[in-house]
Chains A and B, each alone.
Chain A
Amino acid sequence: MLRQHGDESAHSTLDVLWVLYDRILRYDPKNPRSEDRDRFVLSKGHGPEALYAILAAKGFFPIASLKTFMAWESILGSHPDRNQVPGIEASTGSLGHGLSMAVGMALALRLKKSERRVFALIGDGECNEGSIWEAILLAGSRQLSNLTCIAMNNHSSSLELGDLAAKFAAFGGLPRRSMAAHMHKSMRHSREEMTHARWLLSQRSNSELSISLSAEGKMKT
């Protein structure tokens, strides 16, 4: 396995992705574009191995596909492609696009009067991109209660970001830490479930669990 710049990204996102796909998101792996699904966007696009492993574990595509990662005929590249990988909502990789696309999905779901939700995962490095802050400003001003943005802060940004939660709050979203508790509870569970994807799990980094942002107008505890 080639080591990529995304490896640390994959390790840092594993827990939060497992909690999302195991406890929170509604989806049907046999009908990945079902209207009645929650949407998840890996905004930063880097390190999609964790997401691939979880999508495979949940039945979106065969686990055997994981072994083809980055090979010529693989559907799995080191940035995800929505037109090739069942369960991938957005082709990301260029930082700062995914959260804005998630805002667009949330606005569109609202137009459709859908009750489904949109989740986007961004990284602290990605938070150097101006378009992330455009999207947060917009999500806050539109009171997008159907959008949840999860920011992984594993201090990979070379630019000191300071108190990320305070920055999100200042831009109009309310910081929420409630998911962290869910995550810790499920971590052991996730390790057991994911052994068939051990190519990824062999080295977990000690990334700090994230703060998460909800752009909801009102907070529930």
Chain B
Amino acid sequence: MNMRQQMVKTLEELMACDERLVVVLAVISYSLFNQTTSAFAKRILNLGIMEQTMVSVAAGIAMEGFIPVVHSITPFLVERPFEQIKDDFCYQQLSGKFISTGASYDYSTEGMTHHGSGDVQILRSLPGMQIVVPGTPGEFDALLRESYANGANTYFRLNVQSNPREYPVRFGKLAVLKRGKQATVIAVGPMLAAVLPAVENMDVTLLYCTTVAPFDGETLRETSQSSNIVLVEPYYGGALTPDIWAALQQSPIRIEAIGVPHQLLTHYGTPRQHDEAIGLTPQGIRCRIEAFLA
């Protein structure tokens, strides 16, 4: 089961027991939901291909006391209707859950119109927006269940690839996977699959981050034993640097921000080929860390 299939399973389970949940779609993923026989079929609204209206309609639904879940492919959920998310949800202080599918270059063969590497940087600009980047379907399930009724606006970034191992993650908390002195490495969501082998036998602290916003600066402060901070993100790199500066402002630090480079990606092929081309592989990440610490 991938994250998108998990999304359908978890939402259907939650909708069956919580009448406040309404799923608002613009065609994408509608066919995956149980549309006819279920008791909650009326609360799955497929509006047609109109993402701006999808977000505003969801805001209207939120005004009436429901918890809307809005979903589409990343650029059509985040970038096209960004102003609707900003005005209709954030400024109006309503609560909605935004679940994307197709992170960064997951849809590698579709070209850059279907890529979504800028979503986290863009959404970080919204006051109060929560950003969740799970690494496995099970982690997504746990994080959605924990936060769907928290009254905030929450974005869930779903990846096609998943980490081989699942961790018990908590919303808003960094997981401490390893402790060491040479550097503190923060791996965000699906980057953990490459970071774990990259830091093997290295004397580093490894923190696993599945909630990007609000960032758990407290755990970073408590566990970091080095002024060398390595950040490995699966989107345009460096989104978390302001949070790291803020958490560790008492001590001088250096940051190596590894992520998707801020450039046009014009190749197609597979996501794996993109990983290799931009160095988001165990070897590529290890080389960057070694050079940073040299």
Q: Which of A81-96 contact B (CB under 8 A)?
A: 82-83, 89-91, 93-94, 96
Q: Which residue from A82, A109, A134 sits with its C-beta under 8 Å from B50?
A: A134
Query: Of B81-89, B109-117, B241-249, which stretch is located at the interface?
Result: B81-89
What is the CA–CA distance of A85 and B3 in the complex, to the nearest angstrom?
42
- Across the interface, B48 reaches (CB within 8 A) one of A89, A93, A112, A138, namely A138
Out of A91, A94, A103, which one reaches B57, CB within 8 Å? A103
The interface size of chain B toward A, counting residues with CB under 8 Å, comes to 28
Residue ID in chain A nearest B48 by CB atoms: A138
User: How many angstroms from the CA of A93 to the CA of B63 in the assembled complex?
Assistant: 18
Q: Are A101 and B50 in contact (CB under 8 A)?
A: no
Contact between chains at A108 and B60 (CB < 8 Å):
yes
Contacts of A89 in B (CB 8 A): 63
CA distance A83 to B68 in the complex (A): 19
B64 touching A101, Cβ below 8 Å: no
Whole-angstrom CA separation of A134 from B56 in the bound complex = 11
Checking B43, B52, B65, B66 against A131 with a beta-carbon cut-off of 8 angstroms, the contacting residue is: B52
Q: Which of B74-106 contact A (CB under 8 A)?
A: 83-84, 87-88, 91-93
Bitwise, A101-139 to B at CB < 8 A (1) or not (0) is: 111111111011000000000000000001100110110
A104 and B92 contact, Cβ closer than 8 Å, known pairs A91-B87, A94-B87, A131-B53: no
Q: Is the interface of A mostly helix, strand, loop or mixed?
A: helix
Q: Quick one: given A91-B87, A137-B48, are A103 and B53 in contact (CB under 8 Å)?
A: yes
Task: Kindly name the residue among B53, B58, B84 whose own CB sees the greatest number of chain A CB atoms within 10 A.
Answer: B53
Contact (Cβ within 8 A) B47 A101: no
B57 touches A138 (CB 8 A): yes
Determine whether B59 belongs to the interface, using a CB cutoff of 8 Å to chain A. yes
**Is A157's beta carbon under 8 Å from chain B?**
no
- Which residue on chain A has the smallest CB distance to residue B81? A131
Nearest CB in chain A: distance from B83 CB, A: 6
A176 within 8 A of B: no
Cross-chain contact A108 with B64 (CB below 8 angstroms): yes
Q: Please name all residues of chain B whose beta carbon is closer than 8 Å to the beta carbon of A106 when the two chains form the complex.
A: 60
**A-chain residues with CB within 8 Å of residue B56 when the two chains form the complex:** 97, 100-101, 103-104, 131, 135
CB nearest neighbor in A for B55: A100
Taking the complex as formed, is B262 at the interface, i.e. its CB lies under 8 A from any CB of chain A?
no
Residue of A nearest to B62 (CB): A104
> A32-73 toward B: CB 8 Å interface, digit per residue (1/0)?
000000000000000000000000000000000000000000
A31 proximal to B (CB < 8 A): no
Complex CA–CA separation, A83 to B89 (angstroms): 12
Bound: A182/B84 CA distance, A = 34
Contact with A along B246-274 (1 / 0, CB 8 A): 00000000000000000000000000000
Q: Does B207 contact A (CB under 8 A)?
A: no
Question: Does residue B142 face the partner (Cβ distance < 8 Å to A)?
Answer: no
Q: Which residue, A108, A112, A138, has most C-beta atoms of chain B within 10 A? A: A108
In whole angstroms, how far apart are the Cα atoms of A106 and B45 in the complex? 13
Whether A112 touches B64, Cβ cut-off 8 Å, given contacts A91-B92, A97-B88, A131-B52, is yes
Closest residue of B by beta carbon distance from A120: B60
Question: Is residue A156 within 8 Å, beta carbon to beta carbon, of the partner chain?
Answer: no
B42, CB-defined interface residue at 8 Å: yes
With contacts A83-B92, A97-B88, A141-B48 taken as known, whether A109 is within 8 angstroms of B53 at the C-beta atoms is no
Among candidates B22, B63, B83, residue contacting A105 with C-beta atoms closer than 8 Å: B63
Q: Are the C-beta atoms of B87 and A100 separated by less than 8 Å?
A: no
In the bound assembly, the distance between CA atoms of A91 and B59 in angstroms comes to 11
Pairwise interchain contact A104-B63, C-beta atoms closer than 8 A: yes
A102 contacts B52, C-beta separation under 8 Å: no
- B50 partner residues in chain A, CB cutoff 8 A: 131, 134, 137-138
Is there contact, CB below 8 Å, between A103 and B60?
yes
| Complex: chain B residue closest to A93, CB-CB | B87
Question: Do A83 and B93 touch (CB < 8 A)?
Answer: yes
Q: Across the interface, which residues of B come within 8 angstroms of A96, CB to CB?
A: 52
Q: How far is the CB of B116 from chain A (nearest CB, A)?
A: 22
Known A104-B61, A112-B64: A97·B84 in contact at CB below 8 Å: yes
Q: How would residues 14 to 43 of chain B score, 1 for a CB under 8 Å from any chain A CB and 0 otherwise?
A: 000000001000000000000000000011
Task: Name the 8 nearest CB pairs between A and B, nearest first.
Answer: A104-B60, A100-B56, A108-B64, A104-B57, A134-B50, A101-B60, A134-B53, A105-B60
Beyond known contacts A104-B68, A111-B64, A134-B52: 6 more, CB 8 A cutoff = A83-B92, A100-B56, A100-B84, A105-B63, A107-B61, A138-B57
Q: List 14 A-B contacts (CB under 8 A).
A: A91-B92, A94-B87, A100-B84, A103-B57, A104-B56, A104-B58, A105-B64, A106-B60, A107-B57, A108-B22, A109-B64, A131-B53, A134-B50, A134-B53
Taking Cβ atoms with an 8 Å cutoff, the residues of A that contact B are: 82-83, 89-91, 93-94, 96-97, 100-109, 111-112, 130-131, 134-135, 137-138, 141
